[in-house]
Structure 1
């Protein structure tokens, strides 16, 4: 997916600073705090984290930035399937703010990444300072 997006972006005209686009990937805090039973999931998210900087360096010559967001516990369709009490309990695990992350907060970070040309090759945790327990 990144390769295909980068090909299309590379063909475009650069802006005044030479930028042709921004690729924002999504990982997860599981890349850092994988829980028992999550080895495959944590490894896949760790792979996204690990490829961010090398791909950013490779695509820099084409004027393309690469940034990854590693979200914590967010309001998602999967989360909406849980009982309200379970959602509230998970939200209380977040140090601050003690609630689930909101899609608008994720979108706001994406918008800032696009606006700020110095954000490149970075993984940003968007998690309210939560660190997941082993289980």
Structure 2
């Protein structure tokens, strides 16, 4: 019985490790321990699509209810952490993307151009370990 339990635990651990999504290549570093992967894809289509997924860097699991920003545009991710921007026509400006989720540090890309038809950018966020401050409980301070 004990041997079967050990085999089951090892099997579950192996499945968990193999199913965890890890970056395929080196992440582009940011101002914190998070990062991103940016891939330009020539699909020869119009409009330009910018899409990707937001992941927890430590677990590799997708983060739902996150927000990705491009300039003044914001989109929320799906339950599976996916997002998509659709831009009609070519853009002649450089932009950057940023991603944030509650309890995680924000990750921003470097500036990039749209000399392609599709862009895939996956974000890998790290937890924000800073303590939350309840302003009501701070005595003697006022606005």
TM over 0.5: no
Q: Which structure has the highest strand share of the two?
A: 2
Provide TM-score, normalisation by structure 2.
0.24
